[in-house]
Amino acid sequence: MFKTLLKSVREYKMPSILCPLVMLGEAVMEILIPYFNTFIIGELENLSKPENYTVNTDVIILYSSLMVASAVFALICGVLGGKLAATASSGFARNLRQDMYDNIQTYSFANIDNYSTASLITRITTDVANVQMSYQMAIRMLVRAPVLFVSAIIMTVIIEPFMALIFASAAVLLGIVVFICMFKVGPHFRTMFKKYDNLNSVVQENLTAIRVVKSYVREDKEIEKMRSATGEVYKYSVKAEKILTFMMPCVTLTMFASNIIILITGANMSVGNISGNVNASDLQTLINYSVNILSGVMMVAMCLNFISLSKGSMERICEVLDEKSTLPNPVNPVKEVENGNIDFENVMFSYSNNAEEPVLSGIDLHISAGETFGIIGATGSGKTSLVSLIPRLYDVTEGSVKVGGVDVRNYDTDTLRNKVAMVLQKNVLFSGTVAENLRWGDENATDEELRFAAKQACADEFIEALPGGYDYDLGQGGVNVSGGQKQRLCIARAMLKKPKVIVFDDSTSAVDTKTDAQIRETLRKYAPETTKIIIAQRIASVQDADRILVLDDGVISGIGTHEQLLKSNAIYREVYETQMKGGDNDD
């Protein structure tokens, strides 16, 4: 897990290495300051002696100067360490987010199905923030604290070994408490992050569908859903924090108890009630070292506290980073699609290997280049699943799909998808202008090419009527245009790719039948060599296709022209007669 995460440090290795070294310097200086102070106190102790004793001011000046120099050096190291830690942790978090995002872009649809959108957002934001904080504390504290602890123990052993035993016993006790807290708190934090995913999902769903929520007056219901989601996060957060809050009182209690024991024991040693070689200056130094020792333990406890919090986050981030695409490129991929011929050869497909029934089975089909091919069938009959196999959004379970005579699994994925354009059921536009959205099809397209693509999609007239034309800002998700206009913009965007195959997945459902017919006519006129696959619910959208496929529960029910299917296929005839009665076939 740590190996996977630390790959994202990259160019921030130097500050990540320098920071612990600088913190090491600060820790050494903090250890030396009480040691220098011992000489000053020892020199001043001589004033209480009965004989006439003159204080050696040179010793006091020397060690005072060394203490000041050490304090200044420690201050510089502390400030520099903070800056290096901030640089390293922020850079690490930036790289980590970028690496996660980059890897998500390589996912197939099957990979994406393993995660909810809300979960991925939480992992890239909240989880990375947790790991960033832990990393910052680790490179600062997990070096400084052990050095403080070990050095102080060594100095204590030099002064009085028995006192070192007291500190060591306290440290062992705190270590046991910290270990138990970490063991107990982990499951609660892991559950809490899952509840965060649910919380983000509720917020995302509500904001995405805010118009529906308001139109159905469901604000109270959505507020209750949000209250429930935040309540779950609160519940597990409190459970985890209750365990962690037990840690700090234990550290504080142990620190003060150790100081009391040291004071009592040291005082008795000083007056001779207990055997030992401790004087006033040694006792003062031991008190100072007790602060260093126990503060070192406290720092480690705090670091382990944050690491416990972020351990679940680390695991969730590594899941995203370690996920490999289920559709890898072949070793020597084909990088050219010759034509739009499509062949399905005994295709069977399931979304899951454990599925009881396949989504598609026994599909044998040939579509010629330039052909207009319609697909019709009931909801859930496998229409979208069928066309998703053409650009290799999924791999077949059995059989093969060929485009241009080559199995799609042998193509370079980018090459194939650049030549197989899909206009999906859900029309997605992005924030920006009309021109910026269209250039998703070809980022180097000229203004003339934009207008030509818009003309093919019958979108040129309404675009020209917009304020600013092609520079009109569509708003987030294209909220400034209607559903039918969105569909036409998506079609124009797909045509700008100059594809060999274009798939319309019920993508003219929001336009009137007249415009639908115009789009089909312009595509037939301006893209004669492009294979056009039209999935539709309306017979009117496919009846003038060269051939029409009727799917029924994942198998081919019939294939032929409109007239042939009216005579030979009961499903097609029933749909046609139903729509004729409803007037859906009138142009």
Q: How much is the pLDDT for 160?
A: 75
Burial bucket for residue 536 (CB in 10 Å: 0-12, 13-18, 19+): buried
pTM for this one?
0.75
pLDDT in tens, 446-501: 889 899 888 888 888 889 888 988 899 888 777 788 888 888 888 889 888 889 99
Map out the domains of the chain with their CATH numbers: 8-322 (1.20.1560.10), 342-582 (3.40.50.300)
Of the candidates 173, 191, 170, the one whose C-alpha atom is nearest the C-alpha of residue 181 is: 173
DSSP 289-339: HHHHHHHHHHHHHHHHHHHHHHHHHHHHHHHHHH---SSPPPSS-B-----
C-alpha distances in angstroms, 3 versus 96, 218, 318?
Answer: 13, 47, 10
What number of CA atoms fall less than 13 Å from residue 57's CA on the CB side?
A: 0
C-alpha distances in angstroms, 532 versus 432, 484, 538?
Answer: 29, 20, 16
Q: How much is the pLDDT for 562?
A: 92
C-alpha distances in angstroms, 279 versus 41, 45, 151, 282, 582?
Answer: 10, 9, 21, 5, 105
Secondary structure of 1-13 as H, E, C letters = CHHHHHCCCHHHH
Dist CA 452 CA 493 (whole Å)? 11
Q: Can you give the pLDDT of all 587 residues of the chain as single tens digits? A: 888 998 999 999 999 999 999 988 888 888 888 878 777 777 776 665 656 566 677 888 898 899 999 999 999 998 999 999 999 999 999 999 999 999 998 888 888 888 888 888 889 988 899 899 889 988 888 878 778 777 777 877 877 777 778 777 877 887 787 778 777 877 887 788 788 888 888 888 888 788 788 888 888 888 998 999 899 888 888 888 787 777 778 777 877 787 788 778 877 776 666 666 666 667 777 777 777 776 777 777 777 777 777 888 898 899 999 998 888 888 899 999 999 999 999 999 998 877 788 999 999 999 999 999 999 988 888 898 999 999 998 999 999 999 999 999 999 998 999 899 888 877 788 888 999 989 988 888 888 989 988 888 888 888 988 898 889 988 877 778 888 888 888 888 988 888 999 998 877 666 777 777 888 888 888 788 889 999 988 888 888 899 999 999 899 999 999 999 999 999 999 888 888 775 554 44
